[in-house]
Amino acid sequence: MLTSSAPCRKQIAWPSPVLTALLAETPRPHHPVMLGALVGVAGGSPHDAAMAVAYLSVSGPASAAVRLLGLDPFAVNAVAIGHTVIMAKPTLCLRTRLAEHGYKVVGLDLDPFLLSGGGAFCMTLRLDLRSTPQRLRSLNRS
């Protein structure tokens, strides 16, 4: 919970001469342009802004597809290793559909992790990525 002495992100980014100038030029800027300006004002890099836009462009449609297909969002939060898919308690229908496409499904009881909002993929540790000093600094700013 924010206290009156703790600045929130809105207070850090606004008011800002950069944002004021942007809104004066374009009162309704395109979402990625506004997001880029906000990330820049908050001290982020163009790469940080691009990653946020990329995440937002994929997460919304993916979430909609999950809902439209009637899938359990925690079940599709899965780990795929080759043709093996590890997920939380997949339904028989989902198992069958994946098997029809050549996938072996491993269903696990992840209830304790699901209660905290995570799933199988959230429990992975990527060993194919490297941390750089610049990346670590950007993570510590947030």
Q: Is the pLDDT of residue 27 over 60?
A: yes
| Long-range contacts of the stretch 122-131 (C-beta < 8 A, 24+) | 122/77, 124/79
Give Cβ neighbours of residue 39 (< 8 Å, ≥ 6 apart): 45, 48, 49, 52
Q: How far apart are CA 103 and CA 80, in angstroms?
A: 9
Query: How would residue 141 be classed by pLDDT, with cut points 50, 70 and 90?
Result: low
Question: Would you state the structure tokens that stand for residue 89, as one six-digit string?
Answer: 């308690």
Give Cβ neighbours of residue 123 (< 8 Å, ≥ 6 apart): 110, 113
Q: What is the pLDDT of residue 55?
A: 76
Helix (H, G, I), strand (E, B) or coil at 81: strand
C-alpha of 52 from chain center: 8
pLDDT tens figures, 96-137:
988 999 999 999 888 888 777 778 888 887 777 665 666 556
Helix (H, G, I), strand (E, B) or coil at 67: helix
Integer CA distances (angstroms), 85 to 16, 40, 74, 80, 115, in order: 47, 39, 13, 4, 21
Average pLDDT over all residues of the chain: 77
Query: How would residue 8 be classed by pLDDT, with cut points 50, 70 and 90?
Result: very low
